[in-house]
Amino acid sequence: MALSTYKATLSFPRQETYGLVSQLRRAASSVPANIAEGCGCDGNRELARFLEIAFRSASETEYHLLLARDLGYLEINPTKSSILRGPRSVGGTLTLPLAKGMLRSLGTPARGSPQQAGGIEF
């Protein structure tokens, strides 16, 4: 998700450099960074906290991608795009299923998981 987002934002208007481009890149790169940081922690409680942060960053990224689409900066087909695969999208990125599996193994349901989101799969 992070690499795809960086590539997609290269064509955004210059006036968005410090606005939407910055927000998108920060949120997208935060997902794998928080997973990596959590894996370096001692104890499951801290790991679970970083995985939850990764899920929130993925949701933020998804919103900003939808905003960019609505502003006409991106053409996104959710069924074919490798960019728009947030935590609730079908066929999410590699990092999100990994994080979801890690949370399950810790006995911590992820926010937005089917247990907490009315059966919405990702």
Cα 38 to Cα 83: distance, rounded to the nearest angstrom: 23
121 has pLDDT over 90 = no
DSSP states along 47-89: HHHHHHHHHHHHHHHHHHHHHHHHTTS----TTT-SS---TTS
Looking at residue 120, what is its pLDDT? 29
Domains of the chain and CATH, by start: 2-105 (1.20.1440.60)
Query: Do 109 and 103 form a contact (C-beta atoms < 8 A)?
Result: yes
Q: Is 61 left (phi over 0), alpha (psi -120 to 50) or beta?
A: alpha
pLDDT band of residue 75 (cuts 50, 70, 90) is: confident
pTM: 0.67
